[in-house]
Chain A
Amino acid sequence: MSDANGSSTAVAGGGLAESGSAPGYAPGRTLPLAVEIVRQFKRRRTLAMFGLLLALPWILVIAFKVGAGSSQPTNTLRISDLATEGALNFAAFALSVSAGFLLVVAVALFCGDTVASEANWSSLRYLLAAPIPRDRLLRQKLVVAMGYSAAAVICLPLMALLAGTLAFGWNDVRVPGTGETIAALEVLPRFGVVIGYALVSQFVVAALAFLLSVSTDSPLGAVGGAVGLVIVSNILQAVEALGSLREFLPTFWNTAWLDALAPQPEYGGMIKGVAVSVTYSAILVAFAFRRFRRKDIVS
């Protein structure tokens, strides 16, 4: 026994941990967040997506400047009619046009690509053999992917605020429909709620993309699958015959944040939206972890 210990010590050239690991190895220190952030950041799709999100407000500004004056006055004020009223109106408009699809794609990309692309590059097996415990690998990747998703969802309205301020000025908010005006400073905290809600409502997309990401070696499949679910959910949402069942569709409450910008803010719909979103995403993420734990890595 002592012989065996002695020889192994000689081999390793130092003291061995109880678990038999190499010196300096600790499961809790594997794959630090900073490392994963750097690994993902230099990817072209990451940079391209952020570039698009940051450029979109400016593209919209140009579009409104070019098309100024050609719009017909209408009876009801839509959110697009009011976009040039001021920075906050513009940011709300930018969020409303991008929340339905662009942000969905961005979130699906960051969360669906994260594990599947490692499998695709074959680097996943070396990370797991490093070894990074599977739960920890998934956790760190999820945290970083959610971080990128959050940055994507937040950067668009913030850039829209900046672009809107420069282009249309920092004015009070005019509400779609009635055209009432609310003070900008009064709306600003609510706008924070709006951004937060926009983020939470993307949880389902993120969780589904993540689940697909651990299930497939094809990044495109994971991203496409999550976006496809959103499309199907949107289609089902249009079937009024489903009645109140539609309230449980993952995308049903996605526009509820508009209530926060009404003269009397309403939070009921957003609470329901958060409930539905958390419900789906918790289950999906749990399935992702469970699946990854049991998975045979053959990529």
Chain B
Amino acid sequence: MKLAGRPTTWIAVAAVLVIGVATWLLWPSAPQVRAQDQMIQVLDGPGDDQRVTLDASFFPPAGGGRAPVVLLAHGFGGSKQSVREPALRLAQEGYAVLTWSARGFGRSTGQIALNSPDYEVKDVRQLVDWVARRPEVQLDASGDPRVGIAGGSYGGAIALMAAAHDSRIDAIVPQITWYDLADALFPNATGQGPQSGVFKRMWAGLFFSRGGPTSAGPAIGAVTGTAADPGSGPASPGDRAARPAVPLTAEEVRCGRFLPEICDMYQQVAETGQATASAVETLRRSSPISVPGKIKIPTLLLQGQRDSLFPLGQADANAKAIAATGAPVDVAWFDGGHDGGNGEVDWIHEETLGWFDHYLKKSAGTGQANSAFTVTRDGGRDPGTRRPVQLHATAARYAGLSGTGQTPVPISGPEQQVASPPGGSPSSISAVPGFGGLAGGSATLNLSVDMAGQSAGFDSAPLTAPLQVTGSSTVKVRVSVEPGGSSPADTTGAAGGGSETTTAAGSEDAGGGSETTAGGSGDAGGGSDTIAGGSGDGKAGQRDVTLFAKLYDVAGDAQAPILPEGLVAPVKITVPEGGSAEATVTLPAIDHGFDVGHRLRVAFTTTDLGYSTPAAPAVYKIGLASPAVTVPTYAALRTPSTAPAWWTWVLPLVSLVAAAVLLLAGRRRMRDDHDPALDSVPLRINGLTKAYGNGELAVNDLSFTVEHGQVLGLLGPNGAGKTTTLRMLMGLIHPDAGEVRIFGHRVVPGAPVLSRLGSFVEGPGFLPHLSGRDNLELYWKATGRPTEDAHFAEALEIAGLGKALERAVRTYSQGMRQRLAIAQAMLGLPDLLVLDEPTNGLDPPQIREMREVLIRYAAQGRTVIVSSHLLAEVEQTCSHVVVMHRGRLITAGTVSELLRSRTPVNGAGPRLEDVFLDLIGENA
């Protein structure tokens, strides 16, 4: 049984392994998708007369057949290579995918026109024509493929613009992109529109430099093109290698691959830091704001929370505009954006896929793949990896940046004076555009620095309950310009002429409802001479005050305040000379939890690294117009409660059941096998057989009986199987066949009858760190029997150790241990005493004494079995002998019988030694 068990176990283990490996190898792996590179000729321009070659890659659907097609657009500074990975993933999911380098990027020809309806949008229309001719693409009608567009940043904008201009497009997933490029580059948190906005000079510079002539684009892309921005990864080296290294012309150096009109526009606004009406118009032609009501298809807007270039407000405006047409719009704020963050590449893939599955494949199984509003929140750290984890809070309705409820939080603080430094330096820092990716790894890294003397702060009381702010808070502020602190050339150097002329109704900002109330609005009057002639600020006697509003999370004095996502709201407030102005400032849109005990702080700084600020020094006085900040909350936005993974409960249960099965199945029956006829027979061995691991028989069909009062000598040469027999006698080894019965009870491991057996086999076994006495006492206590049954006195007398009894056993000599072990075997005066080589290490007097002890012991009606090599000793001690050789019984009987069986050789009586050697056949 036991021998059979081993191979069975191994076969089972091997079978499991083989099945596992085979499953792993043969598991259907995702089919390979091969990209087909295409050069697609398109005609565009206002007159449809400019021939451009677009470098494209077509990925047929992995499943074959006709499938919906997804156009994947890349980000600014990228190329079709930047979106290769997401394209492969979508193709694996059964979509035809087309990626292309937009005009002016990668190997495509043409110039960058910033997603202009005359250029890039026309290109995309012709790409849709092209995919409609592909045999792999599912068609809604002839020339009308089932098509979606996805992309990030620049690629997200082309998705929106193309959707507005091409009714064949069925669904779009724009990510981290803009609604109004003019507003994004010239924000004004008073809601006054881009023409009075503050120039976002660092981002604008990076944005335009990435369309530049040299490899600077990809180089900066390597910094800014983080995982957060799947659309704007660095261009592949191949793109650059393709371009010959010829010296660049002045025009190329100046404008790179930009269309000259765009280039001129940028250079003008970047120089002055002021948006002109024509610049606003140009930028808005590239923005969804210019096509109101024309995007009427299902749109999933994925916007990054860490994005100071295209903040959440841009997605909000897009959502409102598209939802107004009745088209389904979902909004998600994920942990990413142009400033870094996690990026959540996998999650974005799943959301995109869910959207297209629902609206392109119209799969039945994906009824409601996305929630109307999803916000990624910090879910603490993964306990195993110690890495941040993201939770996704969802709501069934998107309510915009003002949330579903507004809570006024009282804030207070005196009027404070802040300085606007000359030249705008040193400047406070909120986020460093282009370097967000570096900081993105650690959410706790706080780049925010406010310069001393440039910041006015208004704090709330410590919160008594947690406050989750989701959206844009608002605060009313009063600003006045301190006289004397400013020089005449105070304005931001607005470009001459026409800055107040509103060019079109569309230029009015869509953002809501706050207005600048210029208290005591300074009409043209006294003091207007302070305005420099060329400043062109329109109304004399007014001053533009540029401030940066921030909402801090202040934990305590010990820690630096946290500026959520590093976002600021630039405001430009027009203040009459000598008077003051009030403005409602819309703070940055965030999703941030303020903990109990933390305070909210609304701060206004005069500078920010990312923005252009007035060069002239000035001192402003800033106070609250209303002592509260109104924060939006979103009660319905909840994180789905994540129940512990199923295996948390299942695994331990399965394991406990398996453990119980293992234990119960292996349980040997403890039923006592008792033969009453043998009650008085101390030992009967019957057919005992035990094989070594190699199959050689250590004990072979051994049978003998030991009767009361006998002193039995167990004889045999080394390897005869004596010790193996004694171990089976003690229940230490399981016999392969046969049985051992002590007083009629069959010996099994732990059989109670063993308590009547005293044994000393193969040397002593003591705890070396304990004294001899402790060893004996603890051994007896371990048997659980009453102390008075031990007969310690007799046993200790046999040991004869004297004072050595109190020493640790490790200090004992071999003989002392031997005697202590025999004493231990005699504890409790067992009915059957088994001694293996008891006289080893004893001196002659002790041997003699031992002999007498054993004879006396047997004379009391007990039984002794002695295994020994010392034949003379056995001859003198034992009444009976059993001779074993090679596991077999050779002979058994009384010593006298054995001796008598031999005829005297030379007159003297036969010695046991001669008999023994004869028996084992060594006496030649």
Contacts and interface: CB of A to CB of B under 8 A. Distances in A.
A24 interface: yes
B648 A23 contact: no
A290 B666 contact: yes
A136 B732 CA distance: 15
A166 interface: no
A151 interface: no
Interface in B762-783: 762-770, 778-779, 781-783
A100 to B, nearest CB: 13
B563 to A, nearest CB: 15
A260 to B, nearest CB: 10
A134 B666 CA distance: 13
Contacts of B349: none
Nearest to A121: B765
B743 A24 contact: no
B444 A177 contact: yes
Nearest to A133: B750
Interface in A177-217: 177-181
Interface in B667-681: 667-668, 670, 672, 674, 676-680
B28 interface: no
B49 interface: no
A26 B652 contact: no
A244 B667 CA distance: 37
A290 B663 contact: yes
B644 interface: yes
Contacts, number: 247
B733 A132 contact: no
Contacts of A178: 444, 555, 559
B647 interface: yes
Interface stretch (A61-69, A142-150, A279-287): A279-287
Contacts of A4: 676-680
B905 interface: no
B659 interface: yes
A8 B680 contact: yes
A298 to B, nearest CB: 7
Interface residues of A, number: 92
A168 interface: no
B655 A11 contact: no
A97 interface: no
Contacts of B666: 289-290, 293-294
Interface string B113-157: 000000000000000000000000000000000000000000000
B445 A75 contact: yes
Contact of B782 (A75, A132, A253, A280): A132
B645 interface: yes
B89 to A, nearest CB: 17
B771 to A, nearest CB: 10
A8 B750 CA distance: 21
- Residue from the set A7, A11, A126, A178 with the largest chain B CB neighbour count within 10 Å: A126
Contact of A25 (B652, B755, B862): B755
B239 interface: no
B189 interface: no
A274 B663 CA distance: 22
B213 interface: no
- Residue from the set B383, B559, B649 with the largest chain A CB neighbour count within 10 Å: B383
Contacts of B383: 253, 255-256, 258-259, 266, 268-270, 272-273
Contacts of A23: 789
Nearest to B751: A131
Contacts of A160: none
A19 B786 contact: no
B511 to A, nearest CB: 34
A114 to B, nearest CB: 12
Contacts of A283: 655, 658-659, 662
A18 B743 CA distance: 12
A125 B380 contact: no
Interface string B634-672: 000000001011011101101110111011001110101
A131 to B, nearest CB: 4
Contact of B655 (A7, A134, A279): A279
A27 B676 contact: no
A276 B652 CA distance: 7
Interface string A120-156: 0111111111111111100000000000000000000
A29 B784 contact: yes
Interface in B1-22: 2
Interface in A6-59: 7-8, 10-12, 17-32, 35-36, 38-39, 42-44
B328 interface: no
A127 B757 CA distance: 12
B752 A21 contact: yes
A125 B445 CA distance: 63
A130 B727 contact: no
B761 interface: yes
Interface in A55-112: 75-76
Nearest to B724: A298
A35 B655 contact: no
Contact of B679 (A5, A26, A124, A273): A5
B205 interface: no
Given A11-B861, A19-B752, A38 B731 contact: no
A97 B82 CA distance: 44
Contacts of A298: 727, 732-733
Contacts of A224: none
A123 B775 CA distance: 10
B785 interface: yes
Interface in B717-771: 727, 730-734, 742-745, 749-757, 759, 761-770
B677 A126 contact: no
A290 B658 CA distance: 12
A164 to B, nearest CB: 20
Contacts of B595: 263
Contacts of B652: 274-275, 278-279, 282
Interface stretch (B420-428, B606-614, B823-831): B823-831
Contacts of B830: 22
A273 B382 CA distance: 12
B442 interface: yes
Contacts of A293: 666-668, 749
Interface in B860-903: 861-862
B750 A121 contact: no
B243 interface: no
A1 B658 contact: no
A12 B860 CA distance: 10
Contacts of A36: 782
Contacts of B831: 11-12, 22
B247 to A, nearest CB: 45
Contacts of A75: 445
A280 B656 CA distance: 9
Interface string B785-806: 1100100000000000000000
- Residue from the set A22, A132, A280, A282 with the largest chain B CB neighbour count within 10 Å: A22
Nearest to B788: A24
B267 to A, nearest CB: 39
Contacts of A3: 680
A257 B862 CA distance: 62
B558 interface: yes
A123 B666 CA distance: 25
Given A32-B781, A130-B783, A134-B749, 7 more contacts: A8-B680, A20-B674, A22-B830, A129-B732, A181-B558, A272-B644, A298-B732
12 contacts: A8-B680, A20-B745, A20-B756, A122-B764, A130-B779, A133-B750, A135-B750, A255-B383, A256-B383, A259-B381, A269-B384, A294-B734
Interface of A: 1, 3-5, 7-8, 10-12, 17-32, 35-36, 38-39, 42-44, 75-76, 121-136, 177-181, 237, 246-247, 252-253, 255-256, 258-259, 262-264, 266, 268-276, 278-280, 282-283, 285-287, 289-290, 293-294, 296-298
Q: What 5 A-B pairs are tightest by C-beta distance, nearest first?
A: A269-B383, A122-B765, A29-B784, A286-B659, A21-B752
